[in-house]
Every structure is written in C-alpha cells, then in structure tokens.
Amino acid sequence: MRIDILSVLPELLESPLQHSIMKRAQEKGFLEVHIHQLRQWAVNEYGQVDDYQYGGGAGMVMMCEPLAKAIESLSKERKPARPGDRGGYDEVIFLTPDGEMLNQKMANAISLKENLLIVCGHYKGIDERIREHFVTKEISIGDYVLSGGELAAAVLVDTIGRLIPGVLNDETSALTDSFQDNLLAPPVYTRPEDFRGWKVPEALMSGNHKLIDEWKYEQSLARTKERRPDLLKEKE
C-alpha cells in the first residue's frame, strides 16, 4: 500500500510512523508513506494556505486552491497499476471530527486498498467545496477535538498499516486483537508465575489448549459484557 499525506505540519507525523511495526512495514516494502507539505501549493510567496471565513466567525479556513492543486498533482502521479485501473487514488480521506467514526471493521476494509491520500485539516477546517469534489471518505477518530488532523492521521495509518497482509507475523497477529470479533481481548500474563503472591490464573498454567482457549473466550466475553455491551449488540 502507498499512502500520501498532505499536511501543514509534516513534523508532527514523522516520528510516530518511524518505529516498531510501522518501521518494519516500510522496511519490508508492505507500506510506503510519503508526507507532503501543503505550503508547496500556497497561493503566495508567504506560504498562505488559509483565509478568513465567509459569513464571519472565529478561525481560519483552508483554501480551495492549494488543496485542489495538491490533490490533482499528487493524483496524476498515481499511474494505473494494471489494465482496467483508472489510476489516481482509491480513496481521498479527509480527517475531521464530523466524519464517520473509525473502527476496526472500517480499518480492515481500508487496509485492502492500494493507494490512499490523506488530507489533514487545521484551523476551522477546509473549504466545503474540496470535501464535495475531491474527498471520497471522511473519518473521525473519536468524539473529541484535536488541534489538527495529523495525530488522527498517525492513528489511522498505524491502524490500517498493521493490517496489511504480511506486516504482522504470528507473534503480533491481528487475529487476537481486541475488536477483531467485536470482542475485547482477554487479560495476558508473563513470568513470574507468582508475583508478590499475585498468581497467574490456573487455566493458563494447565497446558491444556482446549481449556486455555475456553478460558480466554470466557474472559473476552465477560470483559466485553462489562465494559462494552454495545459491541455485543453489534455482533448479533
């Protein structure tokens, strides 16, 4: 998968994507991330990309021209990969608190795409005409407001990046993650077996894999019932 990200603050995105599983995904060639400074397409020599809102109101709005030029210019570079492919991006994603809420199901679907462009907004958002004419998917990462889309973009790229086939191995497998079956993950333990008198549950020490799997499933179910009953309703 190739992901291009448009941002006025590329620095905010660099470090989160350069470590651990995201680092390995890129080194192994499963994921390519390119971060672009939107000011390259600024309307003047001062690097202006935002302006006052029509109708008044506090806060600046990101202008059409830099975003349209950036999206068009980056889209042109994405040549058709195979016959029948129309080229361009599979999705142009705008990160915004009024978008569709990100969840594991959505992440699974996006992880199967080839080319993504992620647009990070700032200030009061971006001119609505860009959303109407260029953006194909609008995503929020939760019901709270961030100063800009960069941290949300880092969350999205990490979430989908680790789901790309081949990125995770058996040890880091996504199959046992929370939310993968609309269930939270069970508790986990490592050495020692007894820490300050706090013992590892017996089932896990039994060596009986059937018993262990049953214990894990029961724990998952109990935890989900207690903490996220809404997930069990979705499961039905």
- What is the binding site for ligand 6GU (CB under 6 A)? 95-97, 140-142, 144-146, 148-149, 152
Kindly state the DSSP code that residue 207 receives in the 8-state scheme: -
Closest distance of CB 226 from ligand 6GU, Å: 26
Q: Which is nearer to ligand 6GU, 179 or 215 (CB)?
A: 179
Radius of gyration of the chain (CA): 22
In degrees and rounded to multiples of 5, residue 89 shows phi and psi of -90, 150
Closest distance of CB 62 from ligand 6GU, Å: 12
Closest distance of CB 125 from ligand 6GU, Å: 8
Closest distance of CB 120 from ligand 6GU, Å: 8
DSSP symbols for 86-136: --S-SEEEEEEEEEEEP-HHHHHHHTT-SEEEEEE-BTT-B-HHHHHHT-S
Q: Which is nearer to ligand 6GU, 101 or 205 (CB)?
A: 101
Closest distance of CB 141 from ligand 6GU, Å: 4
Q: Which is nearer to ligand 6GU, 88 or 148 (CB)?
A: 148
Side-chain half-sphere of 173: how many Cα atoms within 13 Å?
5
Q: Is the dihedral of CA 14, 29, 135, 178 positive or negative?
A: negative
Q: Which is nearer to ligand 6GU, 60 or 146 (CB)?
A: 146
Q: Which is nearer to ligand 6GU, 140 or 224 (CB)?
A: 140
Strands (E), the chain: 2-7, 32-37, 50-51, 61-62, 91-101, 115-120, 137-140, 194-195, 198-199
